Amino acid sequence: MRTVVDDDGSVTIEAALALSSLVLVAAGIIGAIATMASYIAAVDMAGAAARSHAIGVEYQPAREDARVSVQESAGLIRASVSVDAPIGTMSAEAVFPAEVAGND
Protein backbone atom coordinates (compact mmCIF):
# COMPACT_ATOMS: atom_id res chain seq x y z
CA MET A 1 0.00 0.00 0.00
CA ARG A 2 1.28 3.46 -0.91
CA THR A 3 1.08 6.24 1.60
CA VAL A 4 0.74 9.81 0.50
CA VAL A 5 3.48 11.84 2.06
CA ASP A 6 2.94 15.05 0.15
CA ASP A 7 -0.46 16.63 0.81
CA ASP A 8 0.15 19.91 -1.00
CA GLY A 9 -3.06 21.36 -2.36
CA SER A 10 -5.45 19.73 0.10
CA VAL A 11 -6.04 23.02 1.92
CA THR A 12 -6.85 24.68 -1.39
CA ILE A 13 -9.50 22.08 -2.18
CA GLU A 14 -11.04 22.36 1.29
CA ALA A 15 -11.12 26.14 1.04
CA ALA A 16 -12.74 25.97 -2.40
CA LEU A 17 -15.44 23.60 -1.12
CA ALA A 18 -16.10 25.75 1.95
CA LEU A 19 -16.27 28.94 -0.11
CA SER A 20 -18.67 27.42 -2.64
CA SER A 21 -20.89 26.20 0.21
CA LEU A 22 -20.94 29.70 1.70
CA VAL A 23 -21.86 31.19 -1.68
CA LEU A 24 -24.76 28.74 -2.05
CA VAL A 25 -26.06 29.50 1.44
CA ALA A 26 -25.78 33.25 0.85
CA ALA A 27 -27.64 32.93 -2.48
CA GLY A 28 -30.41 30.98 -0.75
CA ILE A 29 -30.74 33.60 1.97
CA ILE A 30 -30.84 36.44 -0.57
CA GLY A 31 -33.47 34.57 -2.60
CA ALA A 32 -35.59 34.00 0.51
CA ILE A 33 -35.37 37.68 1.49
CA ALA A 34 -36.33 38.79 -2.03
CA THR A 35 -39.28 36.37 -1.99
CA MET A 36 -40.45 37.73 1.37
CA ALA A 37 -40.17 41.27 -0.02
CA SER A 38 -42.35 40.25 -2.98
CA TYR A 39 -44.97 38.85 -0.60
CA ILE A 40 -44.98 42.06 1.45
CA ALA A 41 -45.37 44.06 -1.79
CA ALA A 42 -48.30 41.83 -2.82
CA VAL A 43 -50.03 42.37 0.54
CA ASP A 44 -49.52 46.14 0.27
CA MET A 45 -50.80 46.29 -3.31
CA ALA A 46 -53.86 44.17 -2.47
CA GLY A 47 -54.82 46.52 0.35
CA ALA A 48 -54.23 49.61 -1.77
CA ALA A 49 -56.23 48.18 -4.69
CA ALA A 50 -59.18 47.29 -2.44
CA ARG A 51 -59.15 50.72 -0.77
CA SER A 52 -58.89 52.52 -4.11
CA HIS A 53 -61.79 50.58 -5.60
CA ALA A 54 -63.86 51.10 -2.44
CA ILE A 55 -63.61 54.89 -2.75
CA GLY A 56 -63.99 54.88 -6.54
CA VAL A 57 -60.43 55.72 -7.56
CA GLU A 58 -58.61 53.73 -10.25
CA TYR A 59 -55.61 51.84 -8.89
CA GLN A 60 -52.25 51.68 -10.68
CA PRO A 61 -50.03 48.87 -9.31
CA ALA A 62 -46.57 49.84 -8.12
CA ARG A 63 -44.93 46.97 -10.01
CA GLU A 64 -45.42 46.20 -13.67
CA ASP A 65 -45.32 42.43 -13.13
CA ALA A 66 -48.26 42.53 -10.68
CA ARG A 67 -51.57 40.98 -11.68
CA VAL A 68 -54.49 42.67 -9.91
CA SER A 69 -58.10 41.53 -9.94
CA VAL A 70 -60.94 43.24 -8.08
CA GLN A 71 -64.42 41.82 -7.40
CA GLU A 72 -67.32 43.43 -5.62
CA SER A 73 -70.12 41.49 -3.96
CA ALA A 74 -72.47 42.11 -1.04
CA GLY A 75 -70.95 45.51 -0.31
CA LEU A 76 -67.42 44.13 -0.01
CA ILE A 77 -64.49 44.80 -2.31
CA ARG A 78 -62.10 41.86 -2.71
CA ALA A 79 -58.74 42.55 -4.36
CA SER A 80 -56.33 39.76 -5.30
CA VAL A 81 -52.74 40.43 -6.34
CA SER A 82 -50.11 38.03 -7.71
CA VAL A 83 -46.47 39.04 -8.03
CA ASP A 84 -43.58 37.08 -9.53
CA ALA A 85 -40.85 36.31 -7.00
CA PRO A 86 -37.44 34.65 -7.20
CA ILE A 87 -38.93 31.54 -5.58
CA GLY A 88 -42.41 31.07 -7.07
CA THR A 89 -45.29 33.50 -7.26
CA MET A 90 -46.52 35.39 -4.23
CA SER A 91 -50.20 36.28 -3.94
CA ALA A 92 -52.27 38.17 -1.43
CA GLU A 93 -55.88 39.18 -0.95
CA ALA A 94 -57.55 42.08 0.84
CA VAL A 95 -61.20 42.82 1.60
CA PHE A 96 -62.66 46.28 2.30
CA PRO A 97 -66.23 47.51 2.67
CA ALA A 98 -67.53 49.59 -0.21
CA GLU A 99 -67.95 53.29 0.54
CA VAL A 100 -71.53 54.50 0.43
CA ALA A 101 -71.96 58.05 -0.84
CA GLY A 102 -74.16 60.05 1.51
CA ASN A 103 -76.72 62.67 0.51
CA ASP A 104 -75.68 66.04 1.90
Q: Where are the domains of the chain?
A: 10-97
- CA–CA–CA angle 103, 55, 95 (5° rounding): 125
Position 75 pLDDT exceeds 80: yes
- CA–CA–CA angle 50, 54, 55 (5° rounding): 125
Q: Determine the distance from the C-alpha atom of residue 63 to the mean position of all C-alpha atoms in its chain, rounded to a whole number.
A: 12
| Confidence category of residue 11, pLDDT binned at 50, 70, 90 | confident
What local confidence, expressed as pLDDT, does residue 72 receive?
A: 92
35-41 average pLDDT score = 96
Position 31 pLDDT exceeds 70: yes
